[in-house]
Amino acid sequence: MHTILITGGAGFIGSNLAEKLLDLGYKVIVVDNFDEYYDPAIKHNNIANALKHSNYTFIESDITDASSLKKHLPSQVETIIHLAAKAGVRNSIVNPIGYEEENVRGISKVLELSVELNTTQFIFSSSSSIYGNSSIVPFSEDITDLNPINPYAKSKLLSEQIGKNFSDQYGINFLSLRFFSVYGPRLRPDLVMNQIAKSLFFGETLKIFGDGRASRDFTYVDDIISGIIKAINYNGNKFNIFNLGNGNPISLLEIINIFEKITGHSIKLEFSGVIKGESQTTWADNSKAKSILDFQPVTDIETGIKKYLDWFCSNKN
C-alpha cells in the first residue's frame, strides 16, 4: 500500500487532504506539533474523524526532531507532502523573527528524512506570496525576477531553492506547488474569510487594511487537494514548480459583498492603513498545471463561499 507522510497534517489543508487520501485508499501518516499560532483544540477537532480510520496514523512531533520522528515511521514512505511551516504572511510582517530560520530548518530536516525513508516523491506547499508585487500578471512559473516582500514569502522561495539543490544531489522528485489564497472548511482562524464570517455572525466590526480593492486569487480547498493528488502521480522532471490557483482574482470588497448577498446581512467595516509587505494582487496563470498535471479548478467563488459558510455555521461555537 502506498504510504504518504503529511507534515503539518492537522491544519486546515492537511486535515482535509488526509481524509481525501484515506478515501482513495492510501495509508496516511500525519505529523503535527500543535503549534500555538492558533488554538491547538481546533487542530485536535480537525483530525477527530481521521483518527477513527485504520489506515491513519498520527504522530505528535516537531519535524526538526527528525531522529525522534523516524522511530515512529516505517522503513519506506513513498510520498512526503510537506505542509508544515511557520505560517502567516501578515504575522511574518508584524513578527518577522524566526520565519526564514524555522521554515528553512524544517524543510531541510524533512528532506534529509526523505532519503532515509526511500521517498521518491516530495511535494512542497509553496505560496503565491513568492511573486510579491510582480508587474507581470497573471503570475507564471516562468517569472525568474522574483522579489518576495515579506519574511514568510522569502522563506518559501528559499525552501524551493533548497529543494532544487536536494533534488539535483539525490535524484528525488521535488515538486513545489504554489498555492493561491486557499479557503474552505477548517480555514485557519486568522485568515480573511474567517474574519468576515465572524463579523457577520457575531456582530464584530471588520477591520480592512487599505481601501479593500486589493485582490486575491481565492482557490477552494477541494481544488487545491485535487492538484496535490495529481502531483503524487507526476513523473516528469525531477524538479518542477506549479501554480495551483483558480485564475480569477477578486477584490476584498467584492468578497464581502458576496458574503452579504448570501446571508442577507451587512458587515460593519473599519478602514485602516495599508500594511507594507502585503501584495496588492495575486493572480495565477495555472495553464502549466492544467497542461501537465491535468489540474482543473471547478469551484467558483460564490459556490465556494456558500460551502464555507455552511461549515462555519455548523462549527461557529
Which residues are known catalytic residues? 152
**Grid cell of 260 as nine digits:** 452579504
Give 150's strand partners.
none
Residues 139/128, Cβ–Cβ less than 8 Å? yes
Max distance between CA atoms of the chain, in angstroms, equals 56
| β 250-251/215-216 pair status | antiparallel
Give the number of other Cβ atoms within 10 Å of residue 168's Cβ. Answer: 12
Residue ranges of the alpha helices (H) in the chain?
Answer: 12-23, 40-46, 66-70, 89-94, 99-116, 151-170, 192-202, 221-232, 252-263, 287-288, 301-315
Instruction: Give the C-alpha separation, 19 to 210, whole Å.
Output: 37
Grid cell locating 315: 462549527
